[in-house]
Amino acid sequence: MRPSFVQGFVALVAIQVVFAAPAPQSVSKTSRCGPSYGLTCSGSSFGDCCSHASYCGSTSDYCDKKKGCQAGWGKCDLTSPSFSASPKPAAGPKVSEDGQCGKNSGASCTGSKFGDCCR
């Protein structure tokens, strides 16, 4: 018996649905995200937004859809209070402008664009 057009169409749709289902995403532990890494920022300690450059964060540079936030790999929300302003470092050493920090530089990376770790 030859399959009908409708049976063939139903089989094709079923195959597409099976292969189109998104795979579960692991939460980023390295700050990298997006389709190249298969990692989401939702629930990440680096922030819930995945930037156009595939890094997790929580400021407008990461979360603003107009700046390329990747909605499928984290949150992209212009009204989120978590990114209304960059985190401010506690009173203490100046914030590093070049990624150098510690005793010799007199600067801290906490709150810098380099993250909270020194190189």
pLDDT of residue 98: 75
Q: Within a domain: residue 81?
A: yes
Domain shared by 41 and 67, yes or no: yes
Please indicate, yes or no, if residue 11 is contained in any of the structural domains.
no
Residue 76 and residue 100 share a domain:
no
Residue 53's identity, in one-letter code, is: A
Shared-domain flag, residues 78 and 91: no
pLDDT at 88: 45
Which regions in the chain score pLDDT beneath 50?
9-10, 12-15, 17-18, 20-21, 80-81, 83-90
Are residue 81 and residue 105 in the same domain, yes or no?
A: no
Same domain, 34 and 81: yes
33 in Cβ contact with 10 (< 8 Å): no
Domain assignment present for 9 = no
Domain count, the chain: 2
- Tell me, yes or no, whether 2 lies in a domain: no
Structure confidence at residue 53 (pLDDT): 95
Q: Is the pTM of this model over 0.85?
A: no
Same domain? For 66 and 114 the reply is no
pLDDT at 100: 74
Question: Is 37 among the domain residues?
Answer: yes
Range of the domain at 110: 87-119
pLDDT of residue 59: 92
**Rg for the chain, CA atoms, rounded:** 21
Asked whether 40 and 50 are in contact (CB, 8 A), the reply is yes
DSSP the chain: -PPPHHHHHHHHHHHHHHHHSPPPPEEPSSSB-BTTTTEE-TT-TT-SEE-TTSBEESSHHHH-GGGT--GGGS---TT-GGGSSPPPPPSSSEEPSSS--BTTTTEE-TTBTTBSS--
Residue 77 has what pLDDT? Answer: 80
